[in-house]
Each structure stands twice: as C-alpha cells, then as structure tokens.
C-alpha cells in the first residue's frame, strides 16, 4: 500500500493562483511562496470586513490513542465533500510543528486521499511562520538577559523571571538550563518550551490584525520586580522588533487539498499545553470568503474543543454552527481495554465499553449549545457489528453517526458526513455559549472545566497556586479565560486512565499568566511544555531518496 507521501505525489497540484481564484481571492492579493503556496495580503483581508460571515463547523475527536483517529484527515475529507456537493467551503487548519513530525506522530497534513499539499513543504519549513515565532520569542529572551547584563535598570527580581526560550524540536535536555556562565551576565536558571507552547504562538493565533498583534506583544509579562509589579516586553523595548519579525508571518497561508479545495493553514499551538486552534486571522478570512468553514482543534474534545469554545470563540466573537466528533472502532477498542495487537479482530464488547469515552465527548460538546455529529473514520478491519454498536449507542443519545471512508475514497467517502453537516447547519437554532461567565473567579473557572468537561471529582489547588491566581485577579486579569494544560490521552491528568475514568482528582501544580494572549494557563499533573523524543524517533525514518526527494515523512 502506498504511503501518504506517495499518494500526494501522484496528484497534480493546481497553481496557487488558480486555487486563490477558486476561493475568491484575486491574484494581486496573494504573495506566492513557490508554485503551490502563498500568503494572503492584509489589504485584501481588510476589504472583506463588511461581508457576512459563513457557518463555522468544528471537527474534534475522542481522546487520542495509539490506534489513531484521523481528525485532521476527517476535516479535510469533509471540506472536500462539501465542495464536491456544491457547498462552497473553506478549510482552516493549524500548521504542523517539527516536534511531532520528527518525534512520535510524523506529519500532520492528513492522510490518504484526504491531505493538504504540498505535504512535505507544509510539514517542514512551510512559509517560515514557526521560525519567525521562535525568533520573536528568543529575541525577547535575549533582550531580557541583555538588560540584566547591563545593570538591570528596571529592577527585575532575578527570582521572578518567567520568560523562557523556545525551540520547535522535541529536546528534553533543554527543559531546564543555566544561562550567564563564563561571565556572560547574571547566572540564573532558564529553560526552553517547544515553540507551539510559546505565548508568542498563542497571541499570534489570537491576534485580529497587525495593530492587535503589536498590542498583545507589548503586554507580554516576562518578569516581576520585588514588589510584584510586572515587567513587560514594552518595558524592555522589545515589542517593536518582535512585531517586525512576525509581520509577514501573520498573513494567512493558502494551500490546497489533493482534490483542489482551498485551505488556509496558519498558526499551530498545541491543545494539551496551549489553546490548540489555528489563527483567528485565517478563520475570520475563511468566514468572509465562503458560506461554510471547516476547522479543527487539537487532540480530544476535552482539550481542543473546550479551548476552541471557551477561548478562541469567546475572544474572537465566533459562533460555531455545528461540531463533528471523530472516532474509530479501533480507538474505541483501546479505550474499552483491548490490547493493541488484537485490534484487527472483532470485539464488540470492547467497542461498547470504549463508547463511554465517545459519549462523554459528545455530551460535553452539547453543553456549549452546539449541534453535534459523530464521524466514524472506518478501517478495513471494522465489522458491521462493531459499527452498528457505535451507531446504536449514539442514536440512543440523539446523535447521528456517519461512517466515512475519505482516507481511501476522498470526497466520495465523506459525502454522507457532508449531507449530515449541511442538515445541521440548515436546522439553525444553535444557542452557543461558553461554559463559564467571564466574571467567575479564576479558580472556579478551573474547577468548572475540570468537573464539567474532565468529570473530575475535585480539583487540588495548592495554597501557593491559589495565591498566584489571586495575584492575577488583583492585577486586573480576573475576567480572562483559563487554559488548562494536561495530558491528551485521558480525561484525567493520568495518561494511563483511558475510557471514562470516574472519581479522579485534577492536580494543578502551577499557573502562568499569558497577558499577551489574554488567558491564564493552569498546568495539571505532569504535563511538560517541552516534549522529548521517543526511543525510536520518526526522524530516523526521514531522509532523501536517490532523486533528492524527501522520504519517510508521513
């Protein structure tokens, strides 16, 4: 069987100007990056301000497993199927991070016949957005240390420096570092986050335009004085140069699917340690260009969808029309206790046990007042009895399940899902609302997400963390959303607790204020903001073939 990269290379891509024209973007509004990708200019985006927004459809999923679910693949297949049906649709996705590409996951551009392309370019350097974000993050770190080196005129408390460096590669050895050795400034402990976890990435993806980006950069808090007063990027006079580095990156990227659907792929925060959504710039552009926009949010609905609704939609003023929760029979078996090596064998009982995980995600999406469907991403080993078990369980909850074969069949394999989505949009009556009100105290916001979405029995907030939350509120950040960073593999903070774990306690070990992004991050359990490579990294299989083409990136 050909791999994703081989399938992608068999397709003749259309020139990016043709894709732009299909999306309603004139040729003089794009800045091409080669033949098949381009950025969309700010002037054109501003000219669309008075257009009516289209309908926004979120694709989310169950808690991810080693069996795979295909959330991005399903989003691409759905967009292709909607376009094939005559319903003009724009696809809005996140950019892949090099960390997962070279680590466990591999590429993140879909799979089979449901891919965005050019696959290897998007997965690697693309248009340089991640590099610009990394550079802006590290420029701020360098200017902070330079200020300390030349006397610390701002009176920064060396014990209260929060800003960390960033790198878009999984590197556990950089989680904790020491800087300033050999007389190069004050010696202090420092560390690296992966670029997708940087506050620069988060605020970049939430910025509405260049002025908003500049304002968010200026508000970034890097440290405090001894009296607790904040030191910002503007205090260090770093915000202007950071904005200059990010200017071109903020223009959304236009590419295409293998079936020629236009796709905006822009921004890439992780959902387990950040808010997990593509940029507001791209989403709002898509909504002005097309009657329907299909987007996705990272990992399971407990992370990506919750943050999409409570953070992105709240801060950007978006109202989703429908949501699709993606599952596979194989993943449900794992959540039901089956061993990975047995997934190819029929096991209806394991599927039925695993449905508890899917059911919680579906119920959670409903709590936001959003109409929901289940997309069952089919594998050839799935049996009619197993598929039937899922459909019956969801039907009992008033939710339609649509089996899909878009990996093998492209748009045709998601035609049923497209019809079901159009039906939900046509029904109207969506009453979207975030889970908690702005005025709720920060600690109670954390408890609300933990109890309502993670189904936690209680939340453990140490006294030091509670004092930190109170300090954030006193500093004027009481009415911001919370972004809980936790494992993606479980509703709990324990990645080994699959399915629907009951009675667990969510431990909050630390909180961080992301003043530029406009939310508070709460770190739960042992979640790390700089991942490590696995024992056998995907990078070992990636290289160049005799023809000079990339191999192994899938």
pLDDT of residue 328: 97
Model confidence pLDDT, tens digit, residues 88-140: 999 999 999 999 888 876 678 999 999 999 999 999 999 999 999 999 999 99
User: Is there a domain that residue 543 lies in?
Assistant: no
Q: Taking residues 284-313, report their average pLDDT.
A: 97
Give the percent of the chain with pLDDT over 90: 89
Whether 251 shows a pLDDT value over 60: the answer reads: yes
CA dist 175 and 173 (Å) reads: 6
Q: Which two tokens stand for residue 138?
A: 């590290």
Residues 234 and 302 in one domain: no
pLDDT of residue 408: 95
Model confidence pLDDT, tens digit, residues 342-375: 999 999 999 999 999 999 999 999 999 999 999 9
Residues 329 and 419 in one domain: yes
User: Is there a domain that residue 436 lies in?
Assistant: no
Going by C-alpha positions, the residue among 481, 476, 490 that lies closest to residue 449 is: 481
pLDDT of residue 492: 97
User: Is there a domain that residue 432 lies in?
Assistant: no
3-state secondary structure of 219: helix
Model confidence pLDDT, tens digit, residues 48-65: 999 999 999 999 999 999
Any idea what the CATH number is for the domain that residue 464 is in? Answer: 3.10.410.10
CA dist 393 and 201 (Å) reads: 39
Residues 225 and 328 in one domain: no
User: Is there a domain that residue 510 lies in?
Assistant: yes
Residues 219 and 263 in one domain: no
Average pLDDT, the chain: 95
Model confidence pLDDT, tens digit, residues 136-164: 999 999 999 999 999 999 999 999 999 99
Whether 553 shows a pLDDT value over 90: the answer reads: no
Any idea what the CATH number is for the domain that residue 214 is in? Answer: 3.30.1510.10
Whether 284 shows a pLDDT value over 70: the answer reads: yes
Residues 447 and 496 in one domain: yes
CA dist 183 and 197 (Å) reads: 30
Residues 86 and 66 in one domain: yes
Q: Which residue has the higher pLDDT, 541 or 419?
A: 419
Which residues touch 148 (CB under 8 Å, ≥6 apart)? Answer: 156, 158, 180, 185, 186
User: Is there a domain that residue 550 lies in?
Assistant: no
Give the confidence band of 6 by pLDDT, cuts at 50, 70, 90: confident
User: Is there a domain that residue 71 lies in?
Assistant: yes
Residues 299 and 417 in one domain: yes
Give the confidence band of 221 by pLDDT, cuts at 50, 70, 90: very high
Whether 300 shows a pLDDT value over 90: the answer reads: yes
CA dist 289 and 417 (Å) reads: 22
The domain total for the chain is 3
* Residue ranges making up the domain that contains 174: 130-242
Residues 178 and 263 in one domain: no
Q: Taking residues 525-539, report their average pLDDT.
A: 91
Give the percent of the chain with pLDDT over 70: 99
pLDDT of residue 295: 98
- H helical segments located in 318-414: 329-335, 348-366, 384-395, 406-409
Q: pTM of the prediction?
A: 0.95
Any idea what the CATH number is for the domain that residue 289 is in? Answer: 3.40.50.300
Q: Which residues are catalytic?
A: 71, 73, 94, 105, 271, 299, 379, 407
CA dist 158 and 163 (Å) reads: 12
Residues 190 and 288 in one domain: no
Residues 415 and 312 in one domain: yes
Give the confidence band of 185 by pLDDT, cuts at 50, 70, 90: confident
Residues 349 and 482 in one domain: no
Q: Which residue has the higher pLDDT, 10 or 286?
A: 286
Q: Taking residues 413-428, report their average pLDDT.
A: 95
pLDDT of residue 510: 96
Model confidence pLDDT, tens digit, residues 430-481: 799 999 999 999 999 999 999 999 999 999 999 999 999 999 999 999 999 9
Q: Taking residues 61-85, report their average pLDDT.
A: 95
**Which residue in the block uniquely carries the two structure tokens 């990394």?**
134
pLDDT of residue 1: 56
Angle at the Cα of 61 from the Cα atoms of 267 and 200, rounded to 5 degrees: 20
Model confidence pLDDT, tens digit, residues 334-343: 999 999 999 9
């Amino acid at each position: 069987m050909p791999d994703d990269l081989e399938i992608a290379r068999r397709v003749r891509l259309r020139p990016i100007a043709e894709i732009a024209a299909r999306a309603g973007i004139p040729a003089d509004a794009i800045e091409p990056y080669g033949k098949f990708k381009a950025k969309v200019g700010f002037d054109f985006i501003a000219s669309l301000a008075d257009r009516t927004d289209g309908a926004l459809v979120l694709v989310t999923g169950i808690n991810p497993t080693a069996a795979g679910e295909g959330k991005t693949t399903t989003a691409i297949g759905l967009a292709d199927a909607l376009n094939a049906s005559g319903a003009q649709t724009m696809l809005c996705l996140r950019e892949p991070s090099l960390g997962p590409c070279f680590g466990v996951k591999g590429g993140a551009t879909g799979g089979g016949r449901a891919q965005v392309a050019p696959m290897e370019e998007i997965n690697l350097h693309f248009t340089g957005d991640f590099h610009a974000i990394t550079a802006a993050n590290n420029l701020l770190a360098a200017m902070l240390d330079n200020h300390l080196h030349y006397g610390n005129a701002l009176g920064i408390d060396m014990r209260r420096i929060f800003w960390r460096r960033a790198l878009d590669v999984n590197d556990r050895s950089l989680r904790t570092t020491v800087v300033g050795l050999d007389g190069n400034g004050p010696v202090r402990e420092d560390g690296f986050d992966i670029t997708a976890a940087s506050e620069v990435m988060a605020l970049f993806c939430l910025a509405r335009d260049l002025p908003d980006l500049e304002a968010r950069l200026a508000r970034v808090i890097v440290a405090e004085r001894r009296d607790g007063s904040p030191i910002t990027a503007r205090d260090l006079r770093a915000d202007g140069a950071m904005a200059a580095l990010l200017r071109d990156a903020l223009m959304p990227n236009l590419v295409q699917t293998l079936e020629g659907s236009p796709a905006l792929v822009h921004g890439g925060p992780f959902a387990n340690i950040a808010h997990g959504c593509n940029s507001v710039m791209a989403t709002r552009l898509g909504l002005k260009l097309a009657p329907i926009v299909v987007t996705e949010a990272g990992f399971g609905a407990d992370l990506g969808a919750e943050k999409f609704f409570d953070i992105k939609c709240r801060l950007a003023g978006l109202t989703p029309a429908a949501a699709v929760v993606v599952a596979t029979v194989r993943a449900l078996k794992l959540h039901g206790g089956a061993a990975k090596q047995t997934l190819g064998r029929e096991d209806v009982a394991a599927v039925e046990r695993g449905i508890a995980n899917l059911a919680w995600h579906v119920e959670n999406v409903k709590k936001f007042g959003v109409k929901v469907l289940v997309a069952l991403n089919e594998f050839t080993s799935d049996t009619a009895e197993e598929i039937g078990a899922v459909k019956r369980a969801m039907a009992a909850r008033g939710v339609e399940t649509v089996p899909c074969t878009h990996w093998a069949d492209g748009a045709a394999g998601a035609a049923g899902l497209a019809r079901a989505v159009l039906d939900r949009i046509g029904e109207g009556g969506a009453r979207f609302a975030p889970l908690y009100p702005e005025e709720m105290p920060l600690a109670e916001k954390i408890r609300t997400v933990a109890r309502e979405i993670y189904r936690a029995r209680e939340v453990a907030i140490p006294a030091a963390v509670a004092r930190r939350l109170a300090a954030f509120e006193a500093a004027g950040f009481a009415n911001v959303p919370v972004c809980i960073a936790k494992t993606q593999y479980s509703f709990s903070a324990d990645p080994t607790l699959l399915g629907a774990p009951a009675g667990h306690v969510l431990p909050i070990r630390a909180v961080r204020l992301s003043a530029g992004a406009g939310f508070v991050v709460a770190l739960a359990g042992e979640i790390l903001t700089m991942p490590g490579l696995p024992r056998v990294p995907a990078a070992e299989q990636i290289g160049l073939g005799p023809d000079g083409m990339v191999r192994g990136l899938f």
